[in-house]
Structure 1
Amino acid sequence: MWITIALILFYLLMPVLLIYLCKISNTLNRIGAVVLAYAVGLVLGNIGLLPTASDALVQVLGGTRTFLPEIELQEFMKNPEFSGSDQTYNQIAQLQESIMNYSILIALPLMLFSLHLKKWLRNAKSTLLSLVLAMVSLLVAIFIGYYLFAHNITESAKVTGMLIGVYTGGTPNLAAIGRALNVSPDIFILTHTYDLIIGSVALLFLMTIAQRVFNIFLPRSGVIRKAENVMQVEIEEEDSHLENYDGLFQRKNLPDMGKSLFYALIVFAVGGSTIFFVPKEDQVLVIILIITTLGLLASLLKPVNKLKISFPLGMYFIIVFCLALSSMANLREMFQIEFLELFLYVLWVVFGSMFIHVGLARIFKVDTDTTIIAITALTYSPPFVPAVALALKNKDVIIGGLTIGILGFAFGSYLGIFIGKIL
């Protein structure tokens, strides 16, 4: 029990400390609270402080789940290979996943309330173009990788289908395709492990230096090119420093914080209630879609849109999300790589598709931030969009990123299963 209480306090209070440290240190402020949370979580999850699952529990989880429901846990405890730490591990994993789910579902509406939908609609063409470029880039990278590495990979066609799914909708699509194609547990776990390892490195790149690197090749965010003319669009002053949390520590903002949280909880409750009406495999997609839609509609209401404190409050919950997520990663898996071809295949798909996407974005004159957020939305799914938008210091790309992520989420499983069947 004390471990649960300590972890809850850690996940809720550590973001406050990180925000404060960024406020008093220019160096840490340049890094950003989101990236710091990601780093702190990785340290927590890999210094041996938290219990690990036994081999028996890992096998039961099968790589598709992080914890067992209470009924299955009680049944598993009858297994002679059950370890005393498994129950604690299961309890912590369930807590971590709950914190991740609740924090992101509350953060999404909070961050949408103060956004300007009309402004995004003026740039919708660029966002949809970036979605097409991202999908084309992924498919090109997938097929190149298949013919380079597949001949030495067990169940290579099924692996290809899973990679298409995970990089158009995240882990839920990976799991869905893995079950649909009847992938062996060993191959599934190994593919998922390599995805986590390489994906963590790619996410860190996207959140830190990708913007500066891509700016060398692509138009900067806010620059629109038409035919032979180049028109400069000034970025609004309110977006000049996105990670501004000062309002959270001002007593005068407490009423607006309360209103923002109240409205967000209403949106969360309505979105969450849909779990009773949709199949379990579609629940995540439907909830995110409904919460995003309601958040956007609420932003059109002046009393809601004027609550500017809602955005930094949403950023706080994003930091909580990043902290919980990164603390679940296991860096020790990096030293257990056994199948070089599969590792290289995943590595090529992640960074090869990114390279191809940037090349296509240069041809079609898509700006840096839209390109980065499109890569993020497809590779990591919608919940990661706000976190990367924070690192980019550009909240205007959030709506477009969520749109790309949801569309990828919706169609990724179908595309992955189809490709896995025809290869």
Structure 2
Amino acid sequence: MIVQTAFALLFLVVPAGIIWLAHHQRWAGKLGVIVLCYGAGLLLGNTGLVPSTVLPLQQAVTDIAIVLGLPLLLFTLDIRQWSRIAGKAMLSMVLATTSVVALASGLFFVFRGHGVDSASHFAAMSVGVYTGGTPNLAAIKAGLEIPHSEYIVFHSLDTLVGASYLLFMLSLGVPLFRSLLNPPVAVLEPGAGDEHHFNDDDFTELLDRHKRPEIAKAIGLSALVVALSLGLSEWLARVFAVDNSSATVIVALTSFGILLSLIPGVRQMYLSYKLGMYLIYVFCFVVASMASLENLVRVDVAVAVFLFGTILGSLLLHALLCRLAGIDSDTFMVTSVAAVCSPPFVPMMARALGNPGAMLSGMTTGIIGYALGNYLGISLALFLQEF
């Protein structure tokens, strides 16, 4: 019992320490919290210090972190913004999503034809991570019960491929796509504070005792969503004999989270987003601690090819579709980064473009990606598994 308690505290404290480190040390901030959480988790899991008796605790922590964290991320979604975003930005996000789904589906059939049994998992995770980032990837892992080793290999390679993509977009991509696509449209400055809770990496507010009522309310609502989702899943399993209960739970969590975001009081709980991201960091750290580095070294080349093909192919297809649709270069780039890298990276892209007014559109379409990715990734995998 003492060992279990000690590791439970460790799983919660280490991600918090990494957040502090990334906020106070430039090198850590550049690496990113997610990368550091995965690295720390791999280090812990491969030192031999984690006994096998802790495995059930690790599984429980990862499950709890993702089911509580997902609604917390969605509570601050302002659906009213969907109609306010420029039509071109919405269209660009649709085209980005369509491109990823098309490439992932095409690569599934190619790889399945060569005997890669987990091709449907690759397709689902590709759609998830390239329409909203790590929260989607983690949710799809839980929804499809993807093995930890397979998930870690995929996300480890995605970190490398995604970093290369972002570096390209921030440097060579700006002049390249501005020369290929329509010139950027002048955008007004975003409203003060509209993007604050998405791009601010300071989590100290979670420790403010004056914020405890808001935090307690957010956790309580998230727990209610989890209870409703589990109840719905159980009911569907009994009445309609639905087999994949995990997928049902994740889709229900997403749906209930969006519905609650329609309530102004819920939508204004800005700390909900940060609390949700903290739980995602906990998930990253713990799930990495369950992976064997020996297995990661023996990476299947198929995973790398699938990832590279998906991100490169979807980027080119997205650019082509935006060219045909008359979407301007800046809108294309911020929505692409929002889809591939998630909202926190949008301000970085907006600064590289010299267009800070593009931040709100990019971050809002990225949050929409959080919602779309869960549906699309899980649905696509279940559909492709029929072949």
State the TM bucket, normalised to the shorter chain: 0.7 to 0.9
Q: Is the 8 A contact 1:173 1:412 kept in 2?
A: no
Q: Give the one of 114, 119, 124 matched to 2:76.
A: 114
Match of 2:245 among 276, 283, 295: 283
- What's the secondary structure of 2:185's corresponding residue? strand
Change over 3 Å in CA distance of 1:299–1:172 after alignment to 2 = closer
Distance, in Å, in 1 between the alignment partners of 2:153 and 2:99 is: 25
**Which residue of structure 1 aligns with residue 270 of structure 2?**
308
1:138 aligned to 96, 101, 104, which one? 104
Would the aligned equivalents of 2:99 and 2:318 in 1 still touch at CA under 8 Å?
Answer: yes
Question: Cα RMSD (Å) of the superposition?
Answer: 3.4
Distance 1:259 1:195, change over 3 A: closer
Residue 128 of structure 1 contacts residue 404 of structure 1 at CA under 8 Å; is this kept in 2? no
Partner SS for 1:367: helix
Count of aligned residue pairs for this structure pair: 339
TM-score under structure 2 normalisation?
Answer: 0.74
TM-score norm. by structure 1 comes to 0.69
Query: How far has the Cα of 1:103 moved from its partner?
Result: 1.0
Q: Is the 8 A contact 1:34 1:319 kept in 2?
A: yes
* Deviation at residue 375 of structure 1 after TM alignment: 5.2
Specify the SS of the correspondent of 2:48: coil
Query: Matched residues in 1 for 2:47 and 2:345: separation?
Result: 26
Report what 2:303 is aligned to: 346
What are the residue-to-residue correspondences of 1:91-170 with 2, within 5 Å?
A: 91-121=53-83, 122=85, 123-142=89-108, 150=114, 156=115, 158=117, 163-164=122-123, 167=126, 170=140
- Cα distance in 1 for partners of 2:306, 2:312 equals 10
Aligned-partner Cα distance in 2 for 1:248–1:172: 26
Please name the residue that 2:2 is paired with. 2
Percent identical pairs in the alignment equals 23
Are 1:200 and 2:156 matched, yes or no?
A: yes
Deviations 1:20-44, CA, capped at 9 Å, x for gaps: 2233323323333332212111111
Asked if 1 retains the 8 angstrom alpha-carbon contact of 2:152 and 2:288, the reply is no
Change in CA separation of 1:321 and 1:364 when aligned onto 2, cut-off 3 Å: same
**2:220 counterpart residue number:** 262
The offset of 1:8, in angstroms, is: 0.5
2:359 matched residue in structure 1: none
Of residues 235-244 and 253-262 in structure 1, the stretch that sits farther from structure 2 once superposed is: 235-244
* Maintained 8 Å contact 1:32/1:391: no
Q: For 2:144 and 2:263, how far apart are their aligned partners in 1? A: 38
Following the alignment from structure 1 to structure 2, what is the Cα–Cα distance between the partners of residues 111 and 160? 28
Give the whole-Å Cα distance in 1 for the aligned partners of 2:332 and 2:200. 19
Contact 1:109 1:291 in 2 (8 A): yes
Match of 2:320 in 1: 363
Q: Check conservation: 2:37, 2:281, Cα contact below 8 A.
A: yes
User: Which amino acid counterpart does residue 15 of structure 1 have in structure 2?
Assistant: P
Q: Does 1:321 align with 2:283?
A: yes
- 1:266 Cα deviation from its structure 2 partner: 1.6
Letter in 1 for 2:310: S
Q: 1:297 aligns with which of 259, 277, 280?
A: 259
Q: CA deviation at 1:336?
A: 4.7
Shift of 1:234: 4.1
CA distance in structure 1 between the partners assigned to 2:155 and 2:23 by the alignment:
29
Match for 2:98: what amino acid? V
Structure possessing the higher radius of gyration over alpha carbons: 1
Match for residue 38 of structure 1? 38
Query: Is the 1:217–1:362 contact (alpha carbons within 8 Å) kept by the matching residues of 2?
Result: no
Task: For residues 204-237 of structure 1, give each alpha carbon's deviation from its aligned partner in whole angstroms, at most 9, with x where no partner exists.
Answer: 543x4532323456579xx9x9966634354555
Is the Cα contact below 8 Å between 2:225 and 2:256 reproduced in 1? yes
Q: Which runs of 5+ in 2 are unaligned?
A: 129-139, 323-330, 348-361
CA-CA distance at 1:277 after TM superposition: 1.4
Structure 2 Cα separation of the partners of residues 251 and 128 of structure 1: 41
Which letter does structure 1 place at the counterpart of 2:222? A
Output the CA distance in 2 between the equivalents of 1:311 and 1:173: 21
Q: Which amino acid aligns with 2:94?
A: L
